[in-house]
Structure formats: C-alpha cells, structure tokens
Amino acid sequence: MSELINFRDFGGLETTDGKKIKKGIFFRSGSYRDLLEEDREYIKSLKIKNLHDYREPNELDKDEKQIEMTENFHPISASAHLGIFEQNTEETVVVIDDKSMIDFYKKLPFDNPAYKNLFETLMEEDAVPLLHNCTAGKDRTGIATALIQLSLGARMDSVLLDYMKSMDAYEYILENERRRLNGHSECSLMNKLSGLIIKPAYLNAAFDEIINKYGSFDEYFEKEFSLGSKEREILKLRYTE
C-alpha cells in the first residue's frame, strides 16, 4: 500500500477564457514520511523540476530524501513567519478549532516567503513538472494550489471543489498525524481533529481576506507577487492549453 499521502495532479481545471490548466505538470502531496521505494520511484518517474516543501523543521521526523526526487529542492516554510507551528512541550495542550483554522487561512496568503518563491519559480522557463507539499498536503499546500489555479484563470467554484478533494484522503491524513505525534496521547490527536478536516469555510476565509485587503485577485497577484497583466499572460500561455 502506498504511503504517498494526499497525492494528486491538480491540473485539468477549466479557465474563464475557455482553456484548461495543463495536466501532468502540477502535483501536490502530503509529507514524504515512510515512503515505500515504489513511491519514491514513482515520484522520480515524474521528472520533477522543482519540489517545494512548506513544512517547518520540527515537522520532519527524519531525512525524507526529497533532494533525490527533484532537480531543485525548495525547503521554504509557508508558516514559520507566522510563529504558529512552534515546538510544543508534552505539557502544552494544543487545541485546533474552526476559529484557529480560519485565522490561519486568513494569514497564509500574505507576505509569505514560500509562496513568493513559488511564483518566482513559475515565472522561470522549464519550471515544471512541479510538486509541492506540507504535512497533510491540504492547508498550506491547499492555498498554494488555489493561488496557482486562480492565477491561471480558473473559476473560484472549481478551485474550491478541487480543494475539497483532500477529504478523500482523510483516513490517511489522520493516520499520518497519529504517527507524527509518535507516542503522544490520543487526546492530543482529538484536540487537533478540526485541523485535519477540510472545510470550504477555511479556503473561503482566505479568499475573503484577499478581497478585503486588495479588492480583487488581480490586485493581489500584482502587489504580493509582482504578477501584473503581462506576467499573468506569460503564465497562462505557459501552463494552460
């Protein structure tokens, strides 16, 4: 049984100009913890040019050998600048609820070094196939995926439906988190269940915050990533068909 958690191609979405995001060039996943050799060989077969890992060092259990699966490895946390995933002691009780998840999603799209690096990479020639991940492959990776899709002209409702596909991997995400806690009580896991579930309200909170701050996604992409109309057109020509 594969240990490649929440892995999928996130291309194929239709865009507002009647095209589709290319398939076979954009991939997402959860962590590379305990991968089987067949999983590693499969990733290598995709000829990944750039692998972006959004986790923080304290989320890694061991050498997961990402550098062997890509030409260019980008280990840039998407959350370290927020100070949210700091190492907790065994005495610390961490409770993740809907409010904390929504607050997290509201902060992620802004001044994010990992996402800035992601779009800088996409502006380079020969940047794909590209693979990105976090621990479960649903939150930090989920927003990054949505931003790529929106930058290429995908409709917001299609992006949201694609985001929700992570619920198909819920049992594997839950088991991965249980292993990651590595001996901590089942109560610790129960306190984090809201953080393992995928809800439309989470991604919508990020979208709403972008509109509240910038007024439009066009303005957001230009101000956050220096992607004006010219740059966006380059991306669309390169990554849609």
For 104-156, write each residue's pLDDT tens digit. Answer: 999 999 999 999 999 999 999 999 999 999 988 999 999 999 999 999 999 99
Residue position matching structure tokens 């509240």? 212
Dist CA 239 CA 181 (whole Å):
38
What does the pLDDT read at residue 83?
81
- Establish how many alpha carbons lie within 13 A of residue 90's alpha carbon, considering only the half-sphere containing its beta carbon: 5
The share of the chain scoring above pLDDT 90, in percent, equals 70
For 195-227, write each residue's pLDDT tens digit. Answer: 678 899 999 999 999 999 999 999 999 999 999
Q: What is the mean pLDDT of the chain?
A: 89
For 6-27, write each residue's pLDDT tens digit. Answer: 999 999 999 999 999 999 999 9
The answer to whether the Cα torsion of 20, 168, 33, 2 is positive or negative is negative
Dist CA 122 CA 119 (whole Å):
5
